[in-house]
Structure 1
Amino acid sequence: MAKKHAPATERNREHIAAVLAEELPDSGVVLEVASGSGEHAVYFAQRFPQLDWQPSDFEQDALASIIAWREEMGTTNLRAPAVIDAAVPDSWEVKQADAILCSNMVHISPWEATEGLFAGAARILSGKDLPIILYGPYFEQGIEAAPSNLQFDAGLRERNPNWGIRDAEKLDTLARSHGFERSARHEMPANNLILVYRRI
């Protein structure tokens, strides 16, 4: 069965959508990088009918799941998934967008994927003040890490030494090197954050 189900998407989608309502533009194309099962893409496309939602992934099973969810739901503003490897921005199929959303990728991928994400964003977010929105767990200087996040980080690094929860300040530095500045920080349930960066 092509259609996949990620239980966490149902738990966090309302909270994420509330932030997206504040941070997304009124119209245009939203590129979702690393859409995974596609459940977020379907839900957010329905929640924001004035926006064209562009899901993407580079794993074949994820792309198949996105297609299956899209066909089942019939959401007219949800585009067919694009093949995008965040770590290789030169190869991105999408050439222009008005916002980028990336959920739960930064910690479950090599750092090169995050570097590529910002490099790609710099190419396709052409207008000033357009956002790149990151959801997931992050460590922050001066803020004690939740024990569950420390355990999660250790488990990730055991699975793959190139994975792990990233420092928000390291993302800030990377963002600035590509012409973005952090504009917002939203606390989310389960010790997650949404960090928003905008073109400057």
Structure 2
Amino acid sequence: MSGDADPAAKRHAPATVRNRDAIAEVLRGLLPETGRVLEIASGSGEHVVHFAALFPALEWLPSDPDPASRASIAAWTSGAGLSNIAPPLDLDAAAKVWPIGSADAILCINMIHISPWAATEGLLAGAGRALDPGAPLYLYGPFRRADRPTAPSNEAFDLSLKARNPTWGLRDIADVEKSAERQGLMLEDIIDMPANNVSVVLRRHNDIRVPGR
């Protein structure tokens, strides 16, 4: 990254420090040894810096549609002194065309519940286009699940999200799975994480032809 980034642009997301190591443990068994990892909605940029240091053989591509977030990502990556992080992409998950042709893995942490459903559908469609067969899409955050009741804290969180924006809110994993299947992505695993969050692992299926590929 360029040294021109403004250190004052750094944003801090307290949840990043709490969840980054637990996420990294899941990623250790999921990410390829080499290749490009695209992070959708990188936010402050703290996650990508942490993961890039832990997985130096991978090239990390952060992204965010928000200019202030991209400035924060640039500031964090510039200060980290790592050579395996690309400049942040201006990428809206809901867009029909992404500014990247392919990736060997895609991560999306804590975006799905604080964005319209169209962003989730766009994320899944984009992942279907960008990932080769067998490549993973990793999602993290709070979700609803048919096999267990939603934690009271997550129910309260869902209400607060909808009060801020009626198009936001916790998504049901079953709805994500159905939308993913239409894009050639199959649900592989659901992993319980701290603070009533989960890791959702999807993978590009070998036998499904995705429109646009």
TM-score w.r.t. the length of structure 2 is: 0.92
1:66-121 CA distance string (max 9 Å, x none)? 0001111111101110110001131x111110000000000000000000001111
Q: Percent identity of the aligned residues?
A: 51
What displacement does 1:185 show?
Answer: 1.0
2:196 — aligned with what?
191
Unaligned runs of 5+ in 2: 1-7, 206-213
- The one-letter code of the counterpart of 1:199 is R
TM-score w.r.t. the length of structure 1 is: 0.98
2:129 — aligned with what?
123
User: Where do 1:23-62 residues align within 5 Å?
Assistant: 23-62=30-69
Q: What is the number of residues matched between the two proteins?
A: 198
What displacement does 1:135 show?
Answer: 0.3
2:118 — aligned with what?
112
- The one-letter code of the counterpart of 2:134 is D
- The one-letter code of the counterpart of 1:15 is A
What displacement does 1:19 show?
Answer: 0.2
Report if aligned partners of 1:89, 1:117 keep a CA contact under 8 Å in 2. Answer: no
1:165 — aligned with what?
170
Moved over 4 A (4+): none
In 2, the alpha carbon distance for the partners of 1:33 and 1:162 equals: 19
- The one-letter code of the counterpart of 2:195 is A
In 2, the alpha carbon distance for the partners of 1:106 and 1:195 equals: 12
> What SS is found at the alignment partner of 2:106?
strand
> What SS is found at the alignment partner of 2:63?
strand
Report if aligned partners of 1:104, 1:135 keep a CA contact under 8 Å in 2. Answer: yes
Unaligned runs of 5+ in 1: none
What displacement does 1:142 show?
Answer: 2.6
1:181 — aligned with what?
186
User: Where do 1:140-151 residues align within 5 Å?
Assistant: 140-151=145-156
- The one-letter code of the counterpart of 1:120 is G
RMSD: 0.7
In 1, the alpha carbon distance for the partners of 2:144 and 2:24 equals: 23
